[in-house]
Amino acid sequence: MQNLTFRNAGEGDIPAIVALVTSAYRGDASRAGWTTEADFLDGERIDPDVLRQDIARPGSQVLLAEQGGQLLACCHVTVEDGAGYFGMFSVSPSRQGGGIGKAMMAEAERIVAGQWNLPSMRMTVIDIRDELIAFYERRGYRRTGVKKPFPYGDPRFGIPLRGDIRFEVLEKALSVPA
């Protein structure tokens, strides 16, 4: 991706990150992209206080992708149970499909394998998101069969519009430098 730069988020980036993540997943704006969850989740997608903790916590990075100073994508990588964990992955809906997300994932995997020396990356995806799971499978992630419950009743994760939402754990082996 030409002229795409990566950097770690700071506390001053929180409002822009919340706006980006919301635009990618919730409300009418999210329908411009293919990652929308608007048909089965409403409310917040990211809690600013949780985001602040993710930025400050050791073994955790909120990674931003920018072009010409404009925030285009973000993700959260952290150490969890001996592996990297990849979450909060968001690309501006108007820029989806242009390679920005693939570049962001590659940078996150580089950090986890190259800097943290972890052998794998895991993520959780809502299991009814077949097209999203297929996207990750094309990038080397595999379905583990492990399902986790959605946090119904906790509005920090959204307001479910249906009762069958669960997470599935996906995992990818990474090449750790010798």
Residue 154, C-beta contacts closer than 8 angstroms, at least 6 positions apart = none
State the maximum Cα–Cα separation within the chain, in Å, rounded to a whole number.
Answer: 47
Number of domains making up the chain? 1
Both tokens of 95, joined, read: 């820029």
The Cα-based distances of 134 to 41, 101, 139, 141, 175 in angstroms read: 20, 14, 9, 9, 22
Quick check: is 178 in a domain? no
Q: What is the pLDDT of residue 17?
A: 96
Both tokens of 22, joined, read: 């919301």
Question: Are 157 and 46 within 8 A, CB to CB?
Answer: no
Domain span at 132: 4-173
Q: Which residue has the tokens 């822009």?
A: 16
Quick check: is 120 in a domain? yes
CA atoms of 134 and 87, how far apart (whole Å): 17
Quick check: is 127 in a domain? yes
- Give 155's pLDDT tier (boundaries 50, 70, 90): confident
- More reliable by pLDDT, 2 or 133: 133
Note the pLDDT tens digit of each residue in 40-90: 777 777 889 999 999 999 999 999 999 999 999 999 999 999 999 999 999
Both tokens of 63, joined, read: 């990674």
What DSSP state is assigned to residue 98?
S
Quick check: is 126 in a domain? yes
pLDDT at 174 over 80: yes
Both tokens of 169, joined, read: 């754990």
* CATH number for 57: 3.40.630.30
Quick check: is 18 in a domain? yes
Residues 100-127 have a mean pLDDT of: 95
